[in-house]
Structure 1
Amino acid sequence: MTTPRPVHTWLTDMDGVLVHEEEPIPGAAEFVEALKASGRPFLVLTNNSIYTPRDLRARLLRSGIDVPEEAIWTSALATADFLADQRPNGSAFAVGESGLTTALHDVGYVLTDRDPDYVVLGETRTYSFEAITKAIRHIENGARFIATNPDASGPSTQGTLPATGSVAALISTATRRRPYFVGKPNPLMMRSALNRLEAHSESTVMIGDRMDTDVVSGLEAGLRTVLVLTGSTARDDVEHFPYRPTRVVDSIADVVPLVAELSGDADGGAADG
């Protein structure tokens, strides 16, 4: 965004950019409304695979942020999209919540604990020893190991929670098999979002709060990136990384005026970039 190239598509992270837990970050609602007014396609991205887009829309709406269901892209959806491309109509043993199981069902996958093609690990608040043991045995018997995202921990009002990456490490230690992580920082997550919108990387901006996931995956997918300082990465931390975002701003409120400035004529469409 140091050049006057127009932006035809916007991607943004959710946690740390639009909300903290269910508390809205000032400027988030205005940012989403500015995107709608611009006429440009956009997606809200999250590595959280627990919830379906419908669930997330309801949670955001309670925070005063009106994001259409079709404008939400989760690591569970990206994982299902990846599996449908790799092995159409396959089978999986899924360890996760409705966000993951619904996404797998929607692409034609059968969920089974009998000789599955894949073990798919997602986020859940109810990991069970029995389910993890089954996952380990399926992998030992030849199932391919996929995980929605590599986040080792996540926040809660009570403190840190173990996340997908921590449970993946447990299974990897037992099986000596590392999973393929689909979510950020894998640029595949960004590319799947671009494909969903039929958008071009050259005319797309990614907004995030983490240098090690949002910014690096955006950079590797060829996007311009904006780092907001309302989440995980502090301003002083930016210089410690060997790569830089295109722009650093205090919060999503600082991006609101950029939407109209950089979007240009909405008649250009997302595919003109």
Structure 2
Amino acid sequence: MTPLDSIDAWVLDVDGCLVRTARAGGAGGAPMPDAVRFVAALKAAGHEVLVCTNASEEPPRTYARHLREHGFDIDDDRFVTAGSAAADFIAAEHPGARVLAVGGEGLRDPLRRLGVTPADPDDPSLADVVVVGAARSYTTAELNAAGLAVDAGAAFYTTVDVPWFHGGIGRSICASAAVAHGIGWAAGAEPEVLGKPSPALAATLSRRLGRPAGRVAVVGDALVEVRLARHMGAHALLVLSGATTRERLDDLSQEERPDALYADVAELYQLLTPRLDQSEGVTA
């Protein structure tokens, strides 16, 4: 069993973990049982908490606002998306590059805030970097410009590389991953992932938490969270309230298995309750 007493820093997934929803980032969903109490108790005990989602259609502040509307005490700067993580990586690794963002404001806004130079898909000069994130729709001009740039040697990234989204209510295809692989198919290239479970995201989260890896837990409902925890050297805590079933774990190697398994965050909260200082007036 994972030594819960040793953990004082947390990376919490959203969809299928904190929120039951059919849309990425917790939008339009409802909190899982005791999820609001769980986050409040961690913060009241002085633990470091980051909320991290593979969603990238909206900026972090939009998703954080959704959670606050449901009662979660989550500040904008404690919410990390696959889009914001991708922007952080690209700004650091490709200074001065012209970047073609194939996606919505969840990708473009973080890039703008970091001063990254955008590439116009209608500009005949090719981008230096192409990154694909989520969007309601994609234009032919964007896809063509991305394919031409990647074919000419542009660095090529995607926010996610999973086929399906599952937030606890059914599942839907992960359009950004499909689009990224479509571009890659045309250009003969494989995109590098910058969201979960990439080493790039792991490094960003570890740096922001500022705690030794042995004191960090990653909590989520999908196996990408387990792989993310492995990259961080952190404890992998899996909940069965979203994308993963107990039967799915039977065929996994020991390395791929979580360190601990819970029905949902309510079970984890109940186990932690004796270990945490409870704040007064926390509501579900």
TM-score (norm 1): 0.89
| Contact 2:6 2:214 (8 Å CA) reproduced | no
Match of 1:165 among 155, 170, 177: 177
- Tell me the CA shift for residue 241 of structure 1: 1.1
In structure 2, the CA distance between the partners of 1:253 and 1:9, relative to structure 1 (3 Å rule), is same
Q: Does 1:247 align with 2:260?
A: yes
Q: Give the Cα separation in 2 of the matches to 1:257 and 1:245.
A: 19
Task: Give the structure 2 partner of residue 138 of structure 1.
Answer: 149
Q: Give the Cα separation in 2 of the matches to 1:260 and 1:106.
A: 39
Q: Does 1:203 align with 2:223?
A: no
AA aligned opposite 1:167: V
- Tell me the CA shift for residue 191 of structure 1: 2.0
Q: Give the Cα separation in 2 of the matches to 1:118 and 1:95.
A: 11
In structure 2, the CA distance between the partners of 1:206 and 1:140, relative to structure 1 (3 Å rule), is same
Task: Give the structure 2 partner of residue 67 of structure 1.
Answer: 74
Q: Does 1:183 align with 2:195?
A: yes
Deviations 1:39-65 (A, max 9, x none): 111101111111112100121123332
Runs of 5+ in structure 1 lacking a partner? 265-273
In structure 2, the CA distance between the partners of 1:110 and 1:99, relative to structure 1 (3 Å rule), is same
In structure 2, the CA distance between the partners of 1:179 and 1:263, relative to structure 1 (3 Å rule), is farther
Task: Give the structure 2 partner of residue 149 of structure 1.
Answer: 160
Q: Which moved more, 1:83-92 or 1:230-239?
A: 83-92
Q: Which moved more, 1:146-155 or 1:87-96?
A: 146-155
Deviations 1:221-266 (A, max 9, x none): 21111110100101122222113211101110112244455679xx
Aligned to 1:248, the other structure's residue is in SS state: strand
Q: Does 1:96 align with 2:103?
A: yes
Aligned residues: 263
Aligned to 2:251, the other structure's residue is in SS state: coil
Aligned to 1:239, the other structure's residue is in SS state: helix
Q: Give the Cα separation in 1 of the matches to 2:271 and 2:171.
A: 35
Match of 1:223 among 222, 234, 243: 234
Task: Give the structure 2 partner of residue 30 of structure 1.
Answer: 37
| Contact 1:153 1:166 (8 Å CA) reproduced | no
AA aligned opposite 1:15: D
Q: Which moved more, 1:152-161 or 1:16-25?
A: 152-161
Q: Give the Cα separation in 2 of the matches to 1:155 and 1:220.
A: 22
AA aligned opposite 1:60: L
Q: Does 1:15 align with 2:15?
A: yes
Match of 1:238 among 232, 240, 249: 249
- Tell me the CA shift for residue 123 of structure 1: 0.9
In structure 2, the CA distance between the partners of 1:190 and 1:36, relative to structure 1 (3 Å rule), is same
TM-score (norm 2): 0.85
Q: Give the Cα separation in 1 of the matches to 2:42 and 2:272.
A: 7
Q: Give the Cα separation in 1 of the matches to 2:191 and 2:267.
A: 38
Deviations 1:175-223 (A, max 9, x none): 0011111111223312211112222212100001012x01122123211
| Contact 1:38 1:259 (8 Å CA) reproduced | no
Match of 1:117 among 128, 131, 136: 128
AA aligned opposite 1:27: D
Q: Give the Cα separation in 2 of the matches to 1:259 and 1:195.
A: 25
Runs of 5+ in structure 2 lacking a partner? 22-28, 278-284
Q: CA RMSD in A?
A: 2.1
- Tell me the CA shift for residue 36 of structure 1: 1.3
| Contact 1:6 1:262 (8 Å CA) reproduced | no
Aligned to 2:6, the other structure's residue is in SS state: coil
Q: Does 1:49 align with 2:53?
A: no
Identity between Structure 1 and Structure 2 (%): 30
- Tell me the CA shift for residue 133 of structure 1: 1.3
